[in-house]
Structure 1
Amino acid sequence: MAASINNGSSGYDRTAEMKKFDDTKMGVKGLSDAGVTSIPDFFIQPPEILADLKSKATDMIDVPVIDLSLINSPPHRSKLVQQVKEAAKTWGFFQVINHGIPISVIDDTIAAIKDFHSQPYEVKSKYYNREEGRGVMYASNNDLYRTKAAQWIDTLQAWMGPEPPAPEEIPEACRKEVIAWDVYGSKVAENLMELFSEGLGLEAGKFKELTFLEKKALVAHCYPPCPQPDLTVGIASHTDPALLTVLLQNHISGLQVKHDNTWVNIKPLRGALVINIGDLLQIISNGEFNSVQHRVLANSSKEDRISVVMFFNINKWKGDDNHYGPLPELLSPENPPIYRNFTIQEFVENFYGKGIDSKSLIQKIKI
């Protein structure tokens, strides 16, 4: 199929073409491995996105890198709390090193996810489905039928809490590594949520008490080489709806974050984890922490880009009315709420009712 922006005048049926692609269950990895030289039309981004892609990102500044090695040392912990708080407020993104996860575990996890995505179609296609929000799901473009243009990405997703899948539901190629990474990634998230809690003037265990780490999804992305990376994206610009995101990536670059209205490349650091604030944490902190736009470019290299993301969410919503909003402990006459309370139904409908985009929930509930 020719890669040209189609205005529909030639009888091009976008929905039919997407379904045809989806029904193959081969994903964009299948297209890439087949050696396609042009991308299907429905992957071509709208003109405004293409124009933004042409604005060159900067390498002149870097997201903060925070060393967690002294997290349990009382003399150093207060300094660490301030570093994390400042990064969450000014950037919404940072990388952590010396987080306690062995480099062998990191390498094994990336290799296992790459192995899954590199399996023959006949093996991995049996996991292909679009049942979002529970269990194990493998698909290309989770929001394929809700978005203006598809993205050059395949994803394996497993909901690891509060009710993890049975081990046999996880693909054998990465089963052991996914189960192990859930434990390791969750420990890093717990440590960080303690630092965030202290940074807000709360007890270290406050967020854990509020079940802020119990609902979690492990999402393993593959961004295969794209023949026309200037016409599409790996993931469109968006903010994460969750509380906190912990991301592991291989050495292939592509992740960008928007800082002071400029796109900044996040350079992969061997052994480091990328941490970012989600919309829920911005709301709960009453704007003290910042959920920012980020995106992933389509892969222009000759090797698959692999990332393993863990999203952490609230499990039990507060009170009989099932609402959440800024924590009351953070509010005062001098610091009134800037967001209204909202329900889990609003949250879910906002996420699953559209494609990946910017912080629409925050915009909707801002007072």
Structure 2
Amino acid sequence: MESDTPFQENCKTLFSNFIEEQNPENPFTAYDEYELLLVDLSRSGLSDHDRKECERDLAMAAKQCGLFQVVNHGVSWEILAKLKSEQEKLFRQPFEKKVNKFLNCYRWGSPAATSLMQFSWSEAFHIPLENIPVLKGFNSSLSTTIAVFAEVASELAKRIAEILAENLGSKTTFFAKNCMASSCYLRMNRYPRCPISSEIYGLVPHTDSDFLTILCQDQVGGLQMVKDGKWVSIKPNPQALIVIIGDLFQAWSNGVYKSIEHRVISNHEGERFSVGYFLCPSNDTVIQGCNENEPCMYRKFSFREYRQQVQEDVKSTGSKVGLSRFLM
């Protein structure tokens, strides 16, 4: 399907000069394909030995990589198939209808971009969980499907977060108390076919600002991450969901768990879809190192303060700066 989103028409200044902006060291060259670390969550329900091994594997993946896969995760393939079907129907609506009908949750491109290297050739629906009931008036099937997925994804995200917290010696109710439906959200993404895919990102390099993300992607490929100082392409796995450690978990764990930079490369042959569930606390939640006996890498900050700083940086520079703003 050809994109009905007018990226080039509405951002003429950026696109008219894209040839002059080309980097002699092309950042879109071919990259090695990398198979993510994979954790089988079914072992957590077996013997005590298997459960502990599973928990150690999760902690190791969060420490070493910050972006890994889980299988036997409890999200049925019926739910995922229905979600993808509803997602595709939503994105195939005319651009003007998406903008006007879903004004508060539809996003596209990068409004703050000052160069093509800051522009994302993608569109998305950013849906706070508390707004899911509102969607019922537009599309009851979509609303019901999103609600079912959000419930199981939330359970999975909190389960993983609690395991990672316990590995740090912190038996805590922090995530259950602070990461409620009123603060978490879903993001449904579409990366349309891009005629200048050798010159532009599908999604610019970034780290996630939440505690952790549960990502469901199709088999098109395009997701990349930084591994050992270089970009690698992540091999799609039809059986797995991807877990991405976010900035808040890196700060809360005092740097033990890693929030890894990742991006999406655009594709000139076809479109790509993904859905992310973001485990976020309330805006007033204070983030500080969970181990009081260790020197903190980052100063205390609220999630509101962090989000405002990110927004200010994107507005002023076109890019996210992130955790480095909060180093001690």
Gaps of 5+ in 2: none
Once residues 49 and 207 of structure 1 are traced to their aligned partners in structure 2, the CA distance between those partners, rounded to angstroms, is: 45
C-alpha distance 69-140 of structure 1, shift in aligned 2 (>3 A): same
Counterpart check, 1:244 vs 2:212: yes
Q: Which amino acid aligns with 2:223?
A: L
Residue 40 of structure 2, aligned match among 61, 67, 76: 67
**2:92 alignment counterpart:** 118
Counterpart check, 1:350 vs 2:325: no
Once residues 4 and 189 of structure 2 are traced to their aligned partners in structure 1, the CA distance between those partners, rounded to angstroms, is: 14
- SS of 1:196's partner is helix
Counterpart check, 1:91 vs 2:69: no
Does structure 1 retain, via aligned residues, the 8 Å contact 2:61–2:68?
yes
Once residues 174 and 46 of structure 1 are traced to their aligned partners in structure 2, the CA distance between those partners, rounded to angstroms, is: 43
- SS of 1:221's partner is strand
Structure 1 residue 346: deviation in Å? Answer: 2.3
State the percentage of identical aligned residues.
Answer: 24
**1:144 alignment counterpart:** 111
**1:22 alignment counterpart:** none
- Most deviating of 289-298 and 164-173: 164-173
C-alpha distance 180-52 of structure 1, shift in aligned 2 (>3 A): farther
Gaps of 5+ in 1: 1-27, 132-136
- The aligned length equals 317
Query: Which structure carries more helix by proportion?
Result: 2
Counterpart check, 1:289 vs 2:265: no
C-alpha distance 213-255 of structure 1, shift in aligned 2 (>3 A): farther
C-alpha distance 272-51 of structure 1, shift in aligned 2 (>3 A): same
Counterpart check, 1:109 vs 2:83: yes
- SS of 2:4's partner is helix
Structure 1 residue 238: deviation in Å? Answer: 0.6
Once residues 19 and 53 of structure 2 are traced to their aligned partners in structure 1, the CA distance between those partners, rounded to angstroms, is: 44
Structure 1 residue 139: deviation in Å? Answer: 2.4
Counterpart check, 1:168 vs 2:142: no
Once residues 138 and 129 of structure 2 are traced to their aligned partners in structure 1, the CA distance between those partners, rounded to angstroms, is: 11
Counterpart check, 1:365 vs 2:310: no
Q: TM-score, normalised by structure 2?
A: 0.87
Structure 1 residue 49: deviation in Å? Answer: 6.6
Counterpart check, 1:56 vs 2:30: yes
Does structure 2 retain, via aligned residues, the 8 Å contact 1:159–1:217?
yes
**2:277 alignment counterpart:** 310
Q: TM-score, normalised by structure 1?
A: 0.78
For residues 244-273 of structure 1, give each alpha carbon's deviation from its aligned partner in whole angstroms, at most 9, with x where no partner exists: 111101111000010111112111111311
Structure 1 residue 293: deviation in Å? Answer: 0.5
Residue 14 of structure 2, aligned match among 42, 56, 60: 42
Once residues 239 and 127 of structure 1 are traced to their aligned partners in structure 2, the CA distance between those partners, rounded to angstroms, is: 30
Does structure 2 retain, via aligned residues, the 8 Å contact 1:115–1:173?
no
Counterpart check, 1:233 vs 2:201: yes
Once residues 23 and 151 of structure 2 are traced to their aligned partners in structure 1, the CA distance between those partners, rounded to angstroms, is: 37
- SS of 2:193's partner is coil
Counterpart check, 1:157 vs 2:126: yes
Structure 1 residue 148: deviation in Å? Answer: 3.8
Does structure 2 retain, via aligned residues, the 8 Å contact 1:110–1:249?
no
